[in-house]
Structure 1
């Protein structure tokens, strides 16, 4: 009966196309997770919409998270990538966070922490590492430092944002599309640019007080 109702609402062609796309995506998700991944992440009620590769010797956990989004650009021709490279490295993504398609999250030698109820746009990149030393003699000898990244609850990140090592993004902050974040971001502020800089403050009254949820934002930043 639900199928008939959908056909009446959306038409036969659109309903069929959506069902085929979802089945194809689910097949790719299974292949990436079971065949292409060498890490066994802890996924508690996490919905993997876009195929995601889980890599590395460290700990990857996601609690009630959505990885990928449908319908949204990049679903069919892209994939997600989460790596906890070192045995002591950690990637942790917390409840009710949505990360749109074609994301890359790499904890090299430390940690990436993403809080609750974050909305993160497509082509998101975050890492705790430069992967190579800056001096010429250190560029290929493994002599480089890493620094943890922490993204607090209710952060809203636009399309194509890069968050670099050692950054702390405060609660409720907004990061504009295409920004490169290399310095800490204050809570409840709007930021954009390369490098990202504060544009103005956000009113905090509509955001979290205690354990209350924030005003609902769009799922496709």
Structure 2
């Protein structure tokens, strides 16, 4: 039987994010500026701000959800998309886009944690991150924190794949709805889809054109859980 997630994502309504998001976005933009010191240029590293843990590859767990819009990054997309666990996403609920927004990852399943004897076949797809899976309400899957950087299955990152765009059908074997495996950040030239319009000021998918982590895309907001 398919296992449907009950994850609660940031984008519950289509309203613009609160003022806190705008302030954080402005501060991030300021921190991106290079600081001139005696004729030399010192590059700041806003991606590391807030204690978020953002690695370009690692272990991951995977589920799927529906009702993917409006997404936390402020732009939807027509291709395969996913929500990412808060510790890697780079923002908490209400603060808008994190540095994961727009980044593309090849995700590969290799085990069903509920049926360890299942040997596949497993699939691999490229997804773009457009949404947040917050810790609150999703502790089993997206509960990674700085003090406990893996979830209940021992995975460092969780991807909740968007059912609305058919990502679940492309990724999960028939009858499966939760897997563990690996992820690898890749160029978004490997992703098939189209970005939608900005839904509010501060919407960002800049990760799609940034180099892989630790390079900066949208920048982080707030403090890691």
| TM score, norm. by length of structure 1 | 0.24
Is the strand fraction higher in 1 or 2?
A: 1
Higher Rg of the two aligned structures: 1
Which of structures 1 and 2 has the larger relative contact order (alpha carbons within 8 angstroms, sep 6+)? 2
| TM score, norm. by length of structure 2 | 0.23
